[in-house]
Amino acid sequence: MSTLEPLQLITRENLRKYPLDQANNTPSISVSPLALTREPSPFVLRSPSMLRITRCLVLLALVSIICGALQAQQGQDLASLAGVVTDASGAVIPGVSVTLKNPLTGVVYAATTNKEGFYRIPGVVPSQTYEVTFTATGFSDARFTNVPLLVASARTQNAQLKAGEAVAIEVSVEGERNTVNTIDATIGNNLDIKAVDELPVLNRLSPVVLFSQQPGVSSVNGTTLSIAGARSDQNAMTIDGLDVNDIAAGSSTSMVGNAPVDSIQEFRGTVAGLLASSGTGGGGQFQLITKSGTNKFHGNINEYHRDASTVANDWFNNNTNPKLPRPNYIRNQFGGNIGGPVLKDRLFFFFNYYGSRIVQSGTQNRIVPLDSYRAGNVSYIKATNGSTACPANSRQDTTPQCIGVANINTLDPQGQGFNSNIQSVFNNRYPHANLLSQGDGVNSGVYRFTFPQPDNHNIYVGKVDFSLTQTQRIWARATVSREDRVYAAPQFPTDPLTFPFQDRSYGYVIGHNWTIGNNKVNSFEYGDNITVFNFPTLYNPTGLNTFTFGGGTTTFLNGAYAAPGSQRRRVPIPVVRDDFNWTIGRHNLSFGGTFKFIKTNSLLTNDYNFVTLGLGGNRTTLNASLRPSDIRAGSTASNTYDSAFALALGRVGSINSNYNYNAAGNALTQGSGAVRRYRYYQTELYFGDIWKVTPHLTIDYGVRWQYYSVPYEANGLEAVQNTTFDSYFAARQAQSRSGISSNGAVPFITYNLGGKANNGPDLYSPNYKDFAPRFAFSYNPASDPKTVFNGSVGIVFDRTVINAVNFVQDQSSYLFQNTAPQPYGGRSSANADLLNDPRVGSNLSIPAPAAAPAITKPFTPYVTNNVGNGLLSGQFNTIIDPKLKDPYSLMYNFGMQHEFPANFVMRLNYVGRQGRRLLAQADASQLIDFPDNASGQTLNQAFSNLVVQARAGGAFTNQPFFQNQVTGGTAYVYNNYASLLYAGDFADTVQALYASGRLGPNIGMPTQFAGNTFMTNKGFSSYNGFLATLSKSSSKGARFDVNYTWSHSIDNVSAVANFIPSSQGFGYVCDVTQPRACRANSDFDINHVISADFIYDLPFGRGRTFGANTPLWLDEIIGGWTLSGLPGWRSGQALNTNTSAFVAGYANNSPAIFSGDRGAIRRRVHKASNGAVTLFDDPTKAGAAFVGPIGLTIGNRNVLRGPSAWGMDAGLAKTFKVIPEKVNLKFRADAFNVFNHPVFSAPTSANQNIFASTFGTLTSMQLWNGTSYRVAQFALRLEF
């Protein structure tokens, strides 16, 4: 189970958790409480009044009635049945009465064939056991039993009637779950109740691991799914028609409230060929339905268990010397369900409980003072041990003769020596170091400890179905999710519970299905999914102060107490939906839509005083007069001593105080947190027609329209900037072309109040023109009724990933957050600073923090006296482009299906996607070439020449640009930035030259921000794929699905909306001046994927092929065995290179230029002679095949491929008939990654660097369906 942590805003230059000291008028950037890459973080516990709820319901009901229906998925969670009735000669028979009945619930549907002999029954509740009866005067009846009608699927059931009054013909189609689709051109697979129940699933919290059992899916871990070229945040999931996507985080498969496997009846995944009725988002569509009660009581009680004795070890643990033990992890999943009748054929109920208890331990390292330091001694590395020189890495545990103790009473300018308050904290708060080999070894070591990290789930699902009449049905389902988890370590093991995670999400939906006559069906639903997450910090004895024991530029010791702060989130999404389906002759018309009123409520509490003790503020190093005379020369010895000495004195380095403000600009009480309440609406409407042109040709056409309102902050806590990306960047380009260098050469970006609550401009303009036409056909030749040719074309719009919008907004809320910096030091000497700076008092008391600074509007960040200073300190900014529009894709597919004997169905399809206007983060501060007007040479030409010369290792030649524009000329650049030149690090060189005062303002990069990220529509993509599926319906106990995908996805940027490029070094548009410069393999591109599922009831025992007449005692041994599995294989995912050279953007790590032979980068995952696992046949040759960027010339993205992977999950089940036909006891043994095959993760970012000695080294394992090593799980199920 992965650890949940709120996502921090992290920049390349600033990896600290808390804000740095900043100059006046340079506010801190807050961390959004809604930003989570995996599960979540925040919420506010607040409920709307009943009056507001009532008003909304009335309004939504009126809108539904007026529109005739409002939904987005054409009753997508229902099924339909259609077909043609003929006589023995093949002539169609009109007027045939068709009756569809579910014997488990008594529900009956009816239809009559038209003059072409065609009938259609839409809006059918999915079930596996329908009976279809065909009756016509002058013909014998025909009855088909055990007809499976699967969720969101159209089944074709033709019939041939014989003339005369013969006895009715009955045919069982049990197991025929797959037939050719003669209705539309959708592509996807259904997994019915047997698949959901029998296939091995490690984490039974939800069936998402089975989502990858679709063609067209690219994934390396089984949970982050990119489908048919779409971004992974564009998948849509519904349960009983209700949207359950985690709309705040935008993750691929996270469900609000979860969906325990034993509560799910079946689901369908659709990857392409979407009808007009489908598609919230442009990715895969997954529709799940919960189980229902029937006329018979049914249910189960179950327990699934795994512990340390049932697992293999991680490959790297086994191959480490000494070998590391297996992880200690115990998990019990248990629960049960029951369903049955309250009133026969009328009222039914179903209830499921899922519980999970995980017992595990986490490991944490904390840097703590060594015993000598605790005792009041400040140690240092001596120059010699009396006879020989001491090495720079001298430590107390290895070279104690090289460690000296300073006379700090003499060296302290105040003459006080070791601060008694600091020493008291050391001895009363810190445990003793138990890893002396870590830490600096001079004054600090490491204390490693384990801590309990339990994770407890309780999930309740209840459903009620009531047949009002034979034509009307109402139903309701509710889900309550409760999770309590420890997501992070306490500061020290004796602390009480500090970092719990709490999930209190819940959801409900109420539906009404109405069959109006023989040709109309209406489905209405209202529901709400409420996400409730809480990340509190429970142990915070220091109140509003959080302490860092600084070391100048690094942390010397971990703090004595955990940092305070909390995040909460509550996001209710009320949804109203309606579908109306009307069959008129050859046409089946559908109208529908959804309306969502989304309310994201969040609280982030980080408005505290961030105190640095020791070095910090304006004093990050000491001088020789404050050090022992015999200290070793060099930065290692001096830095180690300086950090310990300044902290021992108890010096207060800085106090940075965070403040929040309301919309009026008034500072709020510290510790009260920042509350955000965003509001917005989503409306989706559609019209579609399924036109049976002939008995063999069906055409589907329609249009879908969506309108997503622009989010606004209800309390007016919303700021907008004064420019668009294009206008700002155009101004920069014009300035650069002209060679103008001055502080006012580039316009400054300012912020003012915006949004609906302030009667100000929106974050971006709303999109009213999102019309998506769809067209499809299905042709079933009369000469070959078991073959279908189909195809479709249409536009799909991406849904707004709301978290990305709100997160970006909160990162730029300069009007509502600010930092009051109070740095100490900065005098003429370190001696003067230590003499005059304050020192910590008893109980870590500190001087009064600075007051909250005033906020002025409009606000211009990182500008003082009309001079930008953000570039000087490497500041980043994030902005939503006011011209942002909804992304869209043109999708098309063509294919054929054929049904073979023995229940085989083959589907072959070509799928294409052209993504346009895709979300892409672009850096408006990216480097732009700049001319020297005197010489005509440009910045790029000069820098490129020096890069080539630096790599050649020879002398440099003077470059006119640097001679004229840089103080000190070419010699200064070459001699001071040789390492940057060698790497080709263009942006860092320009920033450093400007920061040193040797390069003029706005040359190459603007002075206001080092990185200025705009969320734009500058992304585009292209996908082409061949998707094949071979399915076998159950016969002779065997069934399976095999999917193969051969595809290629290309784009210019692949990052999803909920992504921070500045913290990763990639994910930007490479070069805005050349949008196609990085058009290459998509980050998620995997060329070949095979996935499969199988279930095989072994042919032994009573009623089976072998031993059909065995005695009961023998049948208990050999009978009732079932084998199931999920085998799979994929080729390597696209893999990038990097160079630690930031060229076009200050945080955009540039890919290397491939200049060698393709054979040099041949993959062969193997263990090298040094024990490391490497991706390449020869890592040295592979690295040498690349060179770093040269000027603005960079390499292509994703020219490499990561490791391929294969694995298999398998299950073996034995059913014991306790009471025949009534009660069974089932034993299951599931093995995940049954062959314990290592699946290696791609190299880390550091090991993608061509200059690193570890280029191509593999250091971790990739999860395969939830585990990186073999896990055995055993279960008992009592089923009735």
What average pLDDT does range 687-703 have in this prediction? 95
Q: Which tokens sit at 371? A: 């015993």
Q: What is the mean pLDDT of residues 527-549?
A: 93
E strand segments, 1036-1058:
1038-1051
Q: Is 473 exposed, middle or buried (0-12, 13-18, 19+ CB in 10 A)?
A: buried
Nearest in space to 1057 (alpha carbons), one of 1015, 1026, 1090, 1119? 1015
580-630 pLDDT, tens per residue?
A: 999 999 999 999 999 999 998 999 898 999 999 999 999 989 999 999 999
- pLDDT band at residue 1059 under the 50/70/90 scheme: confident
pLDDT at 804 over 90: no
Across the range 887-897, mean pLDDT stands at 97
Q: How far apart are CA 512 and CA 521, in angstroms?
A: 11
- pLDDT of amino acid 905: 95
910, pLDDT greater than 60 = yes
Q: What is the pLDDT of residue 40?
A: 33
Portion of the chain with pLDDT greater than 70, in percent = 92
pLDDT for the residue 21:
31
Q: With helix as H, strand as E and coil as C, how does 1118-1160 read?
A: HCCEEEEEEEEEECCEEECCECCCECCCCCCECCCEECCCHHH
pLDDT of the residue at 540? 87
Mean of the pLDDT values across residues 519-533?
94
Q: Which of 29-43, 192-206, 565-579 has the lowest mean pLDDT?
A: 29-43
Distance of CA 565 to the CA centre of its chain: 24
Mean pLDDT of 718-740: 96
Q: Record the tokens describing residue 1199, joined without a space.
A: 């020219």
Structure tokens at 917: 């206007």
- Lowest average pLDDT, out of 53-57, 164-168, 650-654, 902-906, goes to 53-57
Tokens of 1200: 């490499």
Q: How far is CA 479 from the centre of its chain?
A: 23
Closest Cα partner for 763 from 773, 772, 753?
Answer: 753
Average confidence (pLDDT) over 877-894: 94
**Mean pLDDT, range 801-830, rounded to an integer:** 82
Inform me whether the pLDDT recorded for 1266 exceeds 90: no
| pLDDT average, residue stretch 1034-1047 | 94
What is the torsion angle, in degrees rounded to the nearest 10, for the CA atoms of residue 386, residue 388, residue 393 and residue 399? Answer: -60
Tens digits of per-residue pLDDT, 1103-1139? Answer: 888 988 888 889 889 999 999 999 999 999 999 999 9
Assessment of whether the complete model's pTM goes beyond 0.75:
yes
In tens, the pLDDT along 1153-1203 reads 999 999 999 999 999 888 899 999 999 999 999 999 999 999 999 999 999
Domains with residue ranges and CATH for the chain: 79-182 (2.60.40.1120), 365-449+608-654 (no CATH), 939-1004 (no CATH)
User: What average pLDDT does range 22-48 have in this prediction?
Assistant: 33
pLDDT at 321 over 90: no
Helix (H, G, I), strand (E, B) or coil at 1000: coil
**Tell me, what's the pLDDT at 172?**
73
β-strand partners of 1013: 878, 923
Query: What's the DSSP call for residue 25?
Result: T
Cβ count within 10 A of residue 543: 11
> How many other C-beta atoms lie within 10 A of the C-beta of residue 897?
23
Greater pLDDT, 669 or 10 = 669
810, pLDDT greater than 80: no
**Which residues are CB-contacts of 154 (< 8 A; sequence separation ≥ 6)?**
79, 80, 81, 82, 181, 183, 184
Of 420, 412, 408, the residue nearest 377 (C-alpha) = 408
pLDDT tens, position by position, 847-857:
999 999 888 99
pLDDT at 803: 65
In whole angstroms, give the CA distance from residue 1028 to residue 1086: 16
Q: Who's near 665: CB < 8 A, 6+ residues apart?
A: 815, 854, 855, 857
Q: Measure the CA–CA gap between 104 and 1137, rounded to whole angstroms.
A: 59
CB atoms inside a 10 Å sphere around CB 523: 28
Contact 768, 707 (CB under 8 A): yes
pLDDT tens, position by position, 153-192? 889 999 999 987 656 677 777 667 778 999 999 999 999 8
CB distance 1230 to 197 below 8 Å? no
Q: What is the predicted pLDDT for the residue at 167? A: 62
Distance CA 751, CA 813 (A): 8
Q: How confident is the model at residue 370 (pLDDT cuts 50, 70, 90)?
A: very high
Residue 1057 scores a pLDDT above 80 = no
Estimate the crossing angle of helix 969-976 against helix 939-952, to 10 degrees. Answer: 50
Q: Determine the pLDDT at residue 1176.
A: 95
Give the Cα separation of 16 and 552 in Å (integer).
Answer: 12
673 confidence band (pLDDT: 50, 70, 90): very high
- Mean residue pLDDT of the chain comes to 89
